[in-house]
Chain A
Amino acid sequence: MMLCRACAHLFENGEHCPACGDDFLLTHAELGALSIAHIDCDAFYASIEKRDDPSLAAKPVIVGGGKRGVVSTACYIARAFGVRSAMPMFKALKLCPNAVVVKPNMAKYVEEGKVIRAMMQALTPQVEPISIDEAFLDLSGTQALHRAAPAQSLARLQAQIAEDRGLTVSVGLSFNKFLAKMASDMDKPRGFCVIGRADALDVLAPRSVSALPGVGPAAATALAKRGWRTIGDLRAAGERRLVEALGDWGRRLHQLSLAQDSRAVDPHGERKSVSAETTFFEDIRARDALEDILWDLSERVAARCRANALAGRTLTLKLRRADFQIVTRRTQLHEPTILAARIFAAARELLAPLAEGRTAYRLIGVGLSDFSDAAAADKGDLIDTRTPKQAAAEAAVAQTREKFGRGAVVTGRALRSHDKDD
């Protein structure tokens, strides 16, 4: 089967699309038979900024917080210079001195994420969002409705997002979530990658174990010590040996190595937590530098909470040390919050004793859980009269940024780097 990426026509064979004559074609035997998709926006924040300021189009763009901050997202041009997410800004600017640095405007990104999600939901109600720019879709049974195979619907959606929103997304299409996500990652940006039942095992076999969900660098090292470097190695090891060595996790890895993943796309899956984390370009010891990243993460978590009208009461700070040990700390706030400032303040207190300057960390993350309705959040009390003011301020900032653009308001920690930049 062949799919015309230009007009979404599905046909048997040919050099050109019989419908539009284009040669932007995708060939896969199971194109008409697969319906689980993963859609991931390409360099989301950076792409939005480029779209909104055409003068940036041909320039390397980095979204992140000032010279002292870290890279949130780098556009593909900047990535060509070696710039990566979570890299310290000064390092990124050393690699790519001509880069244009743009301060993140979370309110705008959240809004854009909502619009794109609505477009997905027009295809199928079975949309499971993973983050603001990423979701699983189950298109089973939509063929009759759209008079098109899922692959065609997805190609149209991809074209429609490009046309209407000026943004590109990458699509992974397969028969389960694990493979769909892997596929969307294999052909970025503006990719469309298909993994079918017939070729799944061959696609998986040569890939590194670290391509599996839940296998980070530490786990990969542990597996490599046993001689398991590729997914094919895991498959060859067999379930018994994997379970003996790794317990239940071994069973799960074995299933994945056989391309088995029974998780359903679940649009109603109640959110239990909202979190953001980032792995550093190089290990960080300084508390100040960790806090800079923490502020960025706090704003992300707050923006997502605001978008979903969820207020969390339990805050979790997660750090991964350079030796891959994970450290988590948790605290209860005295009332639910959606405010970046409060998330940051609480996380920073948890961070203080851990970031004593000697321990090197390679990852930091912050999350909120124990949700209730955002309408009842951040009311303050007898002692805490600052929070309601802060809540009003953050709401106003979110609105102002939406109206007048990214530079209109700079708050919190970003202000520090802002001052220094000017």
Chain B
Amino acid sequence: MRLTIERAVLLKALNHVQSVVERRNTIPILSNVLLQAQNEGLRLSATDLDIEISETAHAEVARAGATSAPAHSLYDFVRKLPENAPIKLELTGDDPRLFISAARVKLHLPVLPADDFPLMPADGFETRFSIHPTDLAKLIEKTRFAISTEETRYYLNGIFFHTVVDGGEAKLRAVATDGHRLALANVAAPDGAQGMPGVIVPRKTITELHRLLADATEPVEVAVSQQKVKFTLDQAVLTSKLIDGSFPEYARVIPKENAKVLKIDNKGFAEAVDRVATVSAERSRSVRLALETDKVTLTVNNPDAGVATEYLPADYSAEPMEIGFNARYLLDVAGQIEGQDAIFELNDSGSPTLVREEGDADALYVLMPLRV
């Protein structure tokens, strides 16, 4: 194998793939990045056995070949090389190491055989569609904060993607919940997505996918099977196992008949929550909302740290009520609302509350109240 590649090109590709590599590995080859020099360039692949990211980078390939080298060493080294220096990668039969050189810098890295590298089989995908990167990013951004980290309910450790018919339109829907809050977002279902199996994409995959989306310009090709999902973004391909479990019947969690409606300026509300939460207890972070006609009073009462109160003007005409929420959850939801006003649909102090953005039917949030 012998090739020349631009530093910036190699760095970008390495940056995309190396983050799936775990820092500590019991299987040595999982610390490596697979390097395949082919006609179309240098293909780099990394995996943790659950997620695999591959990317093809433009390179002048003088002699095809393949090997695998320590991902983090290679990435750190390339990062520290002088800019604009073309990098040479070479593996000869004489030296069992990968030789890397740029300007006056030389590096020899130990390698492991490319044949031993565990690539995921790339077949068996039944559903294929393409989606605009901003749509996919929206589904992720609006829901990922609600993903659970709890191990016992592993089936909540990801975003549930599936298609629904909502208001006569086919939608691709993302849902995440940790039991305390639930986030739901829709986009118009892309052609070919209808009827795809509902899949739970794990948190780590979501993180990697979101990172790749930041650089994506072309529509993202999505392929789904019962066990795996594959995203193709420009030159990068992310393949991931799915969470093997069934996502709970989330529809019954979404309140349908909460009659008390509060409309409030979202930015002002978020700032007020943040202010009063200064004195909230570390563990519960609880904020009490007292609703009366056209007014909301926020109170945090923490015997150890003090009492904070703030009232805000709001549209509210139902009977007065009080309800408590975790301040962080309120801020997470407020952070998702881009427009002027947030709508709260409430029932009573013990029942789930629905929050959405005024005029946006394609995202909603459900919050479990705290006892205050």
Contacts and interface: CB of A to CB of B under 8 A. Distances in A.
A383 B366 contact: no
B368 interface: yes
A136 B179 CA distance: 43
Contacts of B253: 382-383
A383 B156 contact: yes
B352 interface: yes
B220 to A, nearest CB: 30
B179 A381 contact: yes
Contacts of B182: 382
B248 A383 contact: yes
B152 A382 contact: no
A390 to B, nearest CB: 15
Given A382-B179, A383-B177, A334 B150 contact: yes
A346 interface: yes
Nearest to A334: B150
Interface in B176-213: 177, 179-182
Contacts of B150: 332, 334
Interface in A357-387: 381-384
A349 B245 CA distance: 15
A382 B177 contact: yes
A343 to B, nearest CB: 12
Contacts of A349: 152
Interface of A: 331-334, 346, 349, 381-384
Interface string B146-164: 0010111100100000000
A383 B181 contact: no
A418 B332 CA distance: 50
A334 B177 contact: no
Nearest to B254: A382
Interface string B245-267: 00010100100000000000000
Across the A-B interface, the 10 shortest Cβ-Cβ residue pairs: A381-B179, A382-B253, A383-B179, A334-B150, A383-B248, A382-B368, A382-B179, A381-B368, A381-B180, A382-B182
A331 B368 CA distance: 24
Interface of B: 148, 150-153, 156, 177, 179-182, 248, 250, 253, 352, 366, 368
A317 B331 CA distance: 38
A349 B151 CA distance: 12
Contacts of B153: 334, 383
Contacts of B156: 383
Given A383-B156, A383-B253, A331 B151 contact: yes
Contacts of A381: 179-180, 368
Given A333-B152, A334-B148, A383-B156, 7 more contacts: A331-B151, A331-B152, A332-B150, A349-B152, A381-B179, A382-B177, A382-B352
A331 B181 CA distance: 22
A340 to B, nearest CB: 17
B180 A382 contact: yes
A381 B248 CA distance: 12
Contacts of A346: 152
Nearest to A382: B253
A270 B156 CA distance: 34
A384 B152 contact: no
User: Max chain A CB contacts within 10 Å: which of B152, B153, B177, B181?
Assistant: B152
A99 to B, nearest CB: 39
Contacts of B248: 383
A381 B352 CA distance: 9
A346 B150 CA distance: 13
B151 A382 contact: no
B179 A332 contact: no
Task: Identify which of B150, B181, B352 gathers the most chain A CB atoms within 10 Å of its CB.
Answer: B150
A331 B154 CA distance: 12
B176 to A, nearest CB: 11
Contacts of B352: 382
Nearest to B179: A381
A334 B179 CA distance: 9
Contacts of A383: 153, 156, 177, 179, 248, 250, 253
Which of A334, A349, A384 has its CB near the most chain B CB atoms (within 10 A)?
A334
Most buried by B among A332, A346, A383: A383
Nearest to B153: A334
A119 B167 CA distance: 69
A331 B153 CA distance: 11
A389 to B, nearest CB: 15
Given A382-B253, A382-B368, A383-B253, A334 B152 contact: yes
Nearest to B155: A383
Best-surrounded residue of A332, A333, A349, A381 (most CB of chain B within 10 A): A381
A305 B248 CA distance: 30
B314 to A, nearest CB: 25
Contacts of B366: 382
B207 to A, nearest CB: 22
A382 B184 CA distance: 14
Contacts of A333: 152
Nearest to A381: B179
Nearest to A384: B179
A132 B372 CA distance: 35
A383 B180 CA distance: 8
Contacts of B151: 331-332
A92 B151 CA distance: 40
Contacts of B148: 334
A334 B177 CA distance: 13
Contacts of B368: 381-382
Contacts of B179: 334, 381-384
